[in-house]
Every structure is written in structure tokens, then in C-alpha cells.
Amino acid sequence: MIFGYFDYLILGILIFLNIKFRRNNFEIGIGCILGGLVFGLVLPIISMVFELAIVQSIGGWMDSFEVAYVYFKFPIYWTIGLAQVIVTGIKFYSLKKDSR
């Protein structure tokens, strides 16, 4: 299972925040750097820790190949972060165009 409970929670929160702040004016600045750091490093590591804790609590694993899929958390979160950048860029430029 490549998506765990934590991943579904993060996706739900992200979708909720995108809907909630759809029409708000915002500036691109430090939030982009913070978002890149969060989606590039912090969230994948937290997701890996949760997933490995769940596997360990179920009974552990026999070898490392059983939990090798947790390394795919990084490209998954990089893709989600890239999609978020695209959505944010579209919102930013459409709001900027409307304000002219």
C-alpha cells in the first residue's frame, strides 16, 4: 500500500485548504520555499516513520524488501508538491490578472 493513513490525511487537508483559500489574495514569497521544504523533505520522512511504525506494530518484517515501497514516498510527495505549485501559480496569476 503506497498511500497510508497519514498520506490520505495530508491530501485531504491540502484539498480543503485549496478550496478554502481559492479566492484569497496572496503573495508568493517565503511560503514557496517553506512549501518546497515541507513537501520535499519533511512530509515524506514523517510518512515513512508512520508507515514503518504501523508495519512494526503489525508484526514486523522479515527483510527490507517488504518495506522498500516507503522510499517511494519521496517521489510521491514531490509530485504532490509540484501539482500544488502549479495550482498555486494558476491561482496567483488569475488573481493578478483579475486585479488589473
Q: How many domains does the chain have?
A: 1
Tell me what pLDDT residue 28 has. 63
83 lies in a domain? Answer: yes
Structural contact between residues 44 and 74, judged by C-beta atoms closer than 8 angstroms: yes
Structural domain containing residue 51: 5-20+30-98
10 lies in a domain? Answer: yes
Structural contact between residues 73 and 47, judged by C-beta atoms closer than 8 angstroms: yes
How confident is the prediction along the chain (100 residues), in pLDDT tens digits per residue? Answer: 678 888 899 889 888 887 877 766 666 665 666 777 788 888 899 988 888 888 888 877 777 777 788 888 888 888 888 888 888 777 777 766 766 6
25 lies in a domain? Answer: no
- The reported pTM is 0.74
C-alpha cell at 67: 518495506
- Cell 501559480 sits on residue: 89
The closest alpha carbon to 31, from 15, 45, 17, belongs to 17
pLDDT in tens, 71-96: 888 888 888 888 888 887 777 777 66
Work out whether the CA dihedral 74, 80, 84, 85 comes out positive or negative.
positive
70 lies in a domain? Answer: yes
